[in-house]
Each structure stands twice: as structure tokens, then as C-alpha cells.
Amino acid sequence: MFEYTSIDKYHLALAQGETSCIETVRHYLSTIESKKHLNAFIHVFEDEALKKAAEFDTKRRSGKPIGKLHGVVVAIKDVICYKDHRLSAASAILKDFTSLYSATAIEKLLVEEAIIVGVCNCDEFAMGSTNENSVYGNVLNAADETRVPGGSSGGSAVAVQAELCMVSLGSDTGGSVRQPADFCGIVGLKPTYGRISRYGLIAYASSFDQIGIFANNIEDVSMILEIIAGADDYDSTVSQQPVERFSGALKAKNKKFRFAYFKETLEHPSLDNEIADRIKELFDELKNDGHEITSLSFEYLDYIVPAYYILTTAEASSNLSRYDGVRYGHRSAKQSNDLTEFYKHNRSEGFGKEVKRRIMLGTFVLSTGYYDAYFTKAQKVRRKLVEKTALVFSHHDFILMPTSPSVAFKIGEKSGDPIAMYLADIYTVFANLTGIPGISLPLFKHSNGMPFGVQLMSKQFNEVSLLQASQQLMDSKNTLERLRNTPGHK
């Protein structure tokens, strides 16, 4: 029986003839079918995936050189353009839309011979923390089907968690890769802002948005990052820095690092006691292993969620103004007497409740009279955070934090209380406000049976060290012992 562990091992198995791309794709298609009720996928490209797999098998057997992602089965979030394939941001406003081009990240995956098996469910326009804001319905967490998978990239997280693909792409504007990874017990990386081109990623809040990666291990995350990162003429905010060989750098072992944590993050009243205790134990373990662990104070903790929601809704209100039903997207059947009424009908019917709430909030914080009180003030908070972060990283290699204050919520638990839902983003939005990379590592299991992780952050463009330290944390003897009895852990 096929058992996937990593891209490298899969390639070895292909080289030794133990499996083939077609056999592998068939395996995933049948698992997707048998776990359809999780609602992780919106579209599955069955015929296309099988056709590509057959082509790749022929190519490999003929002895031609193969791509770095030869036959790797990938799923993508419904906010990333894939030419000639449907794209909707899980919204009624784009329900019948087809992409005219592919995102740069997708082009790069395809060049290396990845097989895109389908498009994953998510919160509408990537706004949410539970995947409950999708026009396609909610996604179930495979570790406990009465719970949410997190969001907004819930479908992409469950696709990896439930073994419906090898790796997947999501997007992270305020935690949408790291938080669902935490809720589902897998690895989720949000790279530095500007590391991966945003060309072809549907914009939510452009100065925060990044494509992120879900996988079961650090090697796969590193490999995918190395391929999709890098300069791109189509995105002026992407970095021109050369892309390092992240996967090669993982060989460095037993390095000693300087970790810092903000004591307020572990004392926060919203944090589950057990999560706090396990993370404190991890700090002790790291200290015993010879790493430096420093407690710092962080006076801005209660400002980061408000600053995030002011700035991102402001950007969203502008970004989403393009969905008017004129050139594409939902057009109402109602009779309109003028252009304003026409827009109103299309947008009222096309957008869901949470997206409307954010457009209104964003329009409000940008309005004359309130601009300085909200938008400018939030920009100042962002500036302070950037300064504080630079200071921390002048003396420390990493900041450690919980990824989320609780394990995955029950379905419906927070959907009636948007403020409670927003406040649960307390640990993830920091990395997006400051543009630094963050990764959630699935190191723990709660006594209620749910997985949870810890979040590791480094200074900008320091993914090499971030991934090395992640690898060490994942491989440590203590982690292996902690997870020994966790179902699904490899």
C-alpha cells in the first residue's frame, strides 16, 4: 500500500519502481472521494491529474531528467489563480469565474512537474478563522469532525491533514496558514512578506497577504518554498533577494539558538492553561538542551488585533471595490434604475455577511473625520511593532509564541460572535503586521485529544534559520516522545 512520508522518499520510490505517478494520483483521488464529507475540496481535477501522471511516468521511464516536484500531488486554496480553472474565493460573487492566467507560484510549481489535484475550500475572500464563511459550506477537522479546521485556509489544511494530497498552498494575511495548521496538527509556514510573488493571489489586504505552505514535515515545506519564492516582474512588492537552498540548509544539526518570548503572551487570559503549560515546558527543554531562552516584555499585545482589523479592513474595502458585476462576477437579475442601484444589487447578493461587515468597517475607518482616529493610529501601532521587532531580533534569533489561544473550536462555537473570533487571532497577526516569517509546528496534543502547535518567528528573509530551528524542534527527542501516542503522527 502507498504510504507517503516526504517528497524525497516519494522520488526514491518512483526511481526504484516501487510506485508510479499514476498509481499515486489514483490513490489520492480515491482518498479524496472517500473523505468527501470533510468538504475540503471545491473542485477535483481528476482527468487532468491522471493525464499528467501518465505523461510524467512515460517521461521518467524514458530516462529524461525530471522536475524537482515530479508527480508531487498538490492542492491549492480557492484564492490562487490557475489558468482555465475555476476560481471563486469561496464567494457567490465569483461563482462562475474562470482564471485567465496562473499565479506565479502556480507557474513555478508546474514547471517543476507538480500535479495540481484540485482547489480547496476556504473562508470567503480569506476572511475568517474557521472556514465557516464559505459559500460552499464549512469544512470538518479530520481530528474531530465536530470541530472546525481553522481558517481561512481550512480546506488546504485538511487536505494535508487527511492525506488528500502531499502538500498544499494557502494564503496568510493574519494567520490563515499557521492557525489552521495548528488546529489540524500539521506544519504551516507564512514566509516573509515579499518572499513569494502575490501575482495571481486574490487580494484581501495587499500589505499583509502572503502565499503560505502546508505540509507534514519541514523538508517538504522547504522544498516548496525554494521553488515558489523569488523575484517576479509582475509583483513590485516581491523581494529581489536571491532565493537560498532552503532544503539543503536543513542538514545543519544541533545548532544552539537564542530564543525570546513575550511574557504577556503566556499570561494572557484568553490562553488555554494546558497550552500555556506545555509551551513553558518546551522552554525548559530548550534551555536544558543548551539554547538561550529570554523572557521579554511586550507592551503592545492588546493593540495588535485592533490594529490588524483596522488596517486589513481598510485595504479590503479598497481591494474588493473591483467586484461590481460590470465586467465579470455575479450580476443580479433585479431591475436597476441607475448605476449605483446596479452595483448595490450585485454586491448585496454576491458578498456574504462577514465580507460585507469588513467592507463597511474598512470604509468607515477610511472615511473623512475618522481616518486619523483609526487608520493613521493603526499605522502608528504598526510602525511601533516594526521597531520593537527589529530591536528584539538584534539580540535574539527567534520569537516563540503560541499559534492560537485554544485548540480548534467546535463548529458554530464562535460564529455568532465576530469580536471573539477576531480576538483569537492574537498570536498570528503580529507576523503579518511586521512582515516577518512565522511557522506553526505541530508539537503537542491536548488532553482533549486535539493537536496544537507552537509558533516560531524570525527576522525578515531569515527562512534558512527558521527552517533549521523548526527541523531541530520537530526532530528533538522530547517532541518524538510527546507525540509517540498521537494518531496520525509520522
Bridge partners, 214 (sequence order): 168, 188
Binding flag, residue 352, ligand GLN (CB under 6 A) = no
Q: Is 77 a catalytic residue?
A: yes
CB count within 10 Å of CB 112 equals 17
CB of 438 to ligand GLN, least distance (A): 11
Q: Which residue's CB is nearer to ligand GLN, number 126 or number 166?
A: 126
Which 3-state string (H, E, C) describes 282-349? HHHHHHHCCCEEEEECCCCHHHHHHHHHHHHHHHHHHHHHHCCCCCCCCCCCCCCCCHHHHHHHHHHH
For ligand GLN, the binding residues in 295-324 under the rule CB under 6 A are 312
Interaction between residue 465 and ligand GLN (CB under 6 A) = no
What part of residues 1-30 is at the interface with ligand GLN (CB under 6 A)? none
The per-residue DSSP string of 189-249 comes to: EE--TTSB--TTBPPSSTTT-EEEEEESSHHHHHHHHHHHBS--TT-TTS--SPPP-HHHH
Binding residue (CB under 6 A) for ligand GLN from 69, 117, 127, 450: 127
Main-chain dihedrals φ then ψ at residue 165, nearest 5 degrees: -165, 175
Catalytic-residue membership of 153: no
Size of residue set near ligand GLN by CB under 6 A: 14
Instruction: Find the residue with minimal CB distance to ligand GLN.
Output: 176
CA–CA separation, 112 and 224 (whole Å): 10
Residue in 81, 126, 271, 456 binding ligand GLN, rule: CB under 6 A: 126
Identify the active-site residue in 6, 20, 35, 77.
77
In the bound state with ligand GLN, the residue whose beta carbon lies nearer, of 173 and 440, is: 173
Query: Does 176 engage in binding with ligand GLN (CB under 6 A)?
Result: yes
Rounded-to-integer distance, Cα 378 and Cα 364, Å: 14
The residues that bridge with 36 in the sheet, in sequence order, are: none
Catalytic pick among 176, 404, 406, 470? 176
**Kind of pairing between the strands at 451-458 and 438-445:** antiparallel
Could you say which residues in the range 426-445 bind ligand GLN, by CB under 6 A?
none
Q: Among residues 129, 134, 471, 472, which is the contact residue for ligand GLN, using CB under 6 A? A: 129
Of the pair 204, 430, the CB lying nearest ligand GLN is at 204
Determine if 173 is a binding residue for ligand GLN (CB under 6 A).
yes
The residues near 285 (Cβ < 8 Å, ≥ 6 apart) are 476, 478
Identify whether 102 is a catalytic site residue: no
Q: Which stretch binds ligand GLN (CB under 6 A): 165-173, 378-386, 448-456, 464-472?
A: 165-173
Q: Is 204 a binder of ligand GLN (CB under 6 A)?
A: yes
- Residues 178 and 171: their CA atoms lie apart, in Å, by 10
Query: Rounded to whole angstroms, how far apart are CA atoms 349 and 330?
Result: 8
Binding residues for ligand GLN (CB under 6 A): 126-129, 152, 171-176, 204, 312, 425
Q: Active-site residues: which are they?
A: 77, 152, 176
